[in-house]
Amino acid sequence: MFERFTDEARQVVKLAQGNARSLRHNHIGTEHLLLGILEQPDTASARLVNRHGLDHAQASEAVVRVLGTLPIGDIDADALDAIGIDLAAVREKVEAAFGPGALDRQPTRDRRGGLVSGRSIPFTPRAKKVLELSLREALALKSRDIRDGHILLGLLREGQGLGVRILSDAGIDLPTLQVEMRAEVGTSRQ
């Protein structure tokens, strides 16, 4: 299915994973897909949701209010500080060399027992359903590819996840958003 995704739609999925990592969540849910959509402000779906009054920062705050974030480990930081090691400085240098969240990933082992860099974060069943529904939306709109707008339509069609709850709690009229997004992706068919 991912071979049908446009670059922007693939980026939504990558950014969803990045948002889950930065919030230190152990799953990629519908809320992270929404954050992935909103993190690309130049896409049709993000522009539309922004026009309805919700941006990435507001959505991220809503996710944190509901789910929180996992602690980094203040006890460890205090213990290291007591022996003269600044954990924030170490983290900054490691992330500069290996990328954001490099210390947050748990190492795994390959089939031969060798260490492999960070683990992947699993999608929740609802997030998987959103991606499946994005394909159905694309097919229904006779699109040859799956765009970021189809992912938003899949999110709205799934209708039960935290992503939709955040949109609704922001006062967005979901049926209107759905009609407007369908019109937008319908005119940009390829």
How is the chain split into domains, by residue range? Answer: 2-69+120-187
Can you name the CATH fold of 2-69+120-187? Double Clp-N motif (1.10.1780)
pLDDT tens for each residue of 53-104:
988 888 888 888 887 765 544 445 555 566 777 767 777 777 777 777 665 6
Given a cut of 50, the residues of the chain with pLDDT beneath it are 72-75, 107-110, 113-117, 190
Q: Which whole-number Å values give the CA distances from 157 to 10, 52, 182, in the listed order?
A: 19, 18, 12
Q: What's the pTM value of the predicted model, to 2 decimals? A: 0.72
Q: Please state, in angstroms and rounded to a whole number, the distance separating the CA atoms of residues 152 and 149.
A: 5
- Whether residue 165 contacts residue 30, with contact meaning beta carbons closer than 8 Å, is answered with no
